Amino acid sequence: MERLAGNVMLLWGVRRWALAFLAGGFAVLSLPPFNFFAVLFVSFPVLVWLLDGASGEADAGYLGRLKPAFWTGWWFGFGYFVAGLWWLGNALLIEAEEFAWALPLAVLGLPALLALFYGLATAFARALWSDGLGRICALAGGFGLAEWARSLVATGFPWNAIGYGAMPVPMLMQTSLLIGVFGVSALVVFVACIPALIGTRRAMVPGLVVAALLMLFHAGFGYWRLSLATDTQSGQPIVRIVQPSVDQSQKWDDSQRARVFEKLLSLTSAIDPQASARPTYIVWPETSIPFLLTSNPDALVLIGEALETGQTLIAGAVREERDVSGQRTRYYNSIYVIDHEGQILEASDKVHLVPFGEYLPFESLLGSLGMDIIANGPGGFSSGSTRKSVALPAGKRFLPLICYEAIFPQEVTPAAEDADFIINVTNDAWYGNTPGPYQHFQQAQVRAVENGLPLIRAANNGLSAVTDGKGRVLDGLLQNVIGYVDVPLPVKIHVNGSIWTRMHTFWAIIVILLSCALFSRCSFIKAAN
């Protein structure tokens, strides 16, 4: 192991960057649908050894000496995001004649930008570098900060945070309730880097002990929480998830809209011969209604006819809103609540839009260059003003999360406190049969765990599911299956703390890690002098 570590440290140039790229790409196997978390114990020790050898020229100045560390982290991140996000390019092939030119930007350009966060993380860690356990603390703190920053900068994109690699099953998701996914990310990097100590024989024993204790707590807390009895209530409403699995290329095709709508109505009114009760709430996926509902009153009549007395439809749809003058129309990616009489009771708009997918940043500039949004529909979307829980008949309230809003822990704000469950409507048909939908579903699961709220997830072509407040899947539909599933609504689990509590804990972890790194760095410099 020492010889291997030494050989990795001495690599330079193309071989160094290539190994960093491969190590980052290899780490993606820890994520869905593979969930092989042990690969992190290979990728991150390699990164540590590469950083051990990433010392710049002595006369290059302070920032110049950090450049090799930055580029090592950048190549690691580039490999990680290329391997983890390549499926984004599938969305551009839906209308290839219009968007195929942007394929390199999605498959390589976005990973190159996201890799900057990991480059800054490794440069920051290298500034606090020492020998032994201190450098592990520095790298863990740097990655924790990078993942947090990635959720905020330029509207944020925290997809595939490192911490998700340590959450392949619900038992290993429960720690996120205490420290959030960013706290988990920092500690995962710490634990995954520990084998690097075996290669250098410095602080190996204390490092292994601390890592073992963290792993035992991670698994033990999860086992304990899942073993706790969950409150049950009789008479809980039945929820039906409808999964129509509509091909994305047909969704907004004028000739197919009636057929798509009829499929949704048929699945809604279908009778399950084995069911003891009819569903109270029926959930359709994101933008499932293939036209402007308010411009088609006959559609509301048909919805009312498909619903029985006491049933409520919760459907993803495009909502239009005209200004007072009637000259300007805004479109929103929304969720409608519709009763059995075909009346719209509530509407909730998507707040966190997808850049380039749902709206065009710097529209005046980029629009003049011929760029357009990817999402086909009536036009670009406007952002909703605020997020709040939505009231339903029968006394329940839900927190709406539309599509990728579910990947942001901070989107589950105090508005969730009076919610009984989360509804996440999405359309992952853009990405075909790729890892993307599986990664998306896992992140939605973690939102349920963090807040103790059951998750009702309706996806156009899957993965659709109902989970309890501990992230356990009660029932669902696999990808590309056409059908529905009826599940009694799980009971909300009351948890102590909120997103703000988890953020305080996260910052405490970062302070501890960086304090240890700084102490080790000072001791290292003192010993060297």
**How many C-beta neighbours within 10 Å does residue 366 have?**
13
DSSP characters for 270-314? ---TT-SS--SEEE--TT-S-S-GGG-HHHHHHHHHHSPTT-EEE
Specify which residues 313 forms β-bridges with: 282, 338
**How many C-beta neighbours within 10 Å does residue 133 have?**
22
**Superfamily of structural domain 238-488:** Carbon-nitrogen hydrolase (3.60.110.10)
Q: What are phi and psi of 434, to 5 degrees?
A: -130, 175
Residue 337 has what pLDDT?
97
Residue 121 and residue 143 in contact, taking contact as beta carbons nearer than 8 Å:
yes
Specify which residues 321 forms β-bridges with: 330
Q: What are phi and psi of 53, to 5 degrees?
A: -95, 5
The tens digit of pLDDT for each residue in 403-454 reads 989 999 988 766 678 899 999 999 998 898 999 999 999 999 999 999 999 9
Per-residue tokens: 375: 């999402």
Q: What are phi and psi of 244, to 5 degrees?
A: -80, -20
- Mark the ranges of the chain whose per-residue pLDDT is less than 50: 368
CA distance 177 to 274: 36
Specify which residues 320 forms β-bridges with: 331
Residue 418 has what pLDDT?
87
CA distance 499 to 165: 21
User: Where are the domain boundaries for CATH 3.60.110.10 in the chain?
Assistant: 238-488
Residue 504 has what pLDDT?
93
The tens digit of pLDDT for each residue in 49-64 reads 999 998 867 667 777 7
User: Which residues are designated catalytic?
Assistant: 286, 350, 403
Specify which residues 331 forms β-bridges with: 320
CA distance 466 to 474: 6
Burial class (CB in 10 A: 0-12, 13-18, 19+), 201: exposed
Query: Closest Cα to residue 162, out of 135, 136, 138, 190?
Result: 190
The tens digit of pLDDT for each residue in 451-505 reads 999 999 999 998 999 999 999 999 999 999 999 999 999 999 988 777 888 999 9
Residue 333 has what pLDDT?
93
Q: What are phi and psi of 46, to 5 degrees?
A: -60, -40
CA distance 470 to 411: 18
DSSP characters for 205-244? HHHHHHHHHHHHHHHHHHHHHHHSPPP--TTPPEEEEEE-
Which residue is it, tokens 């290298």? 126
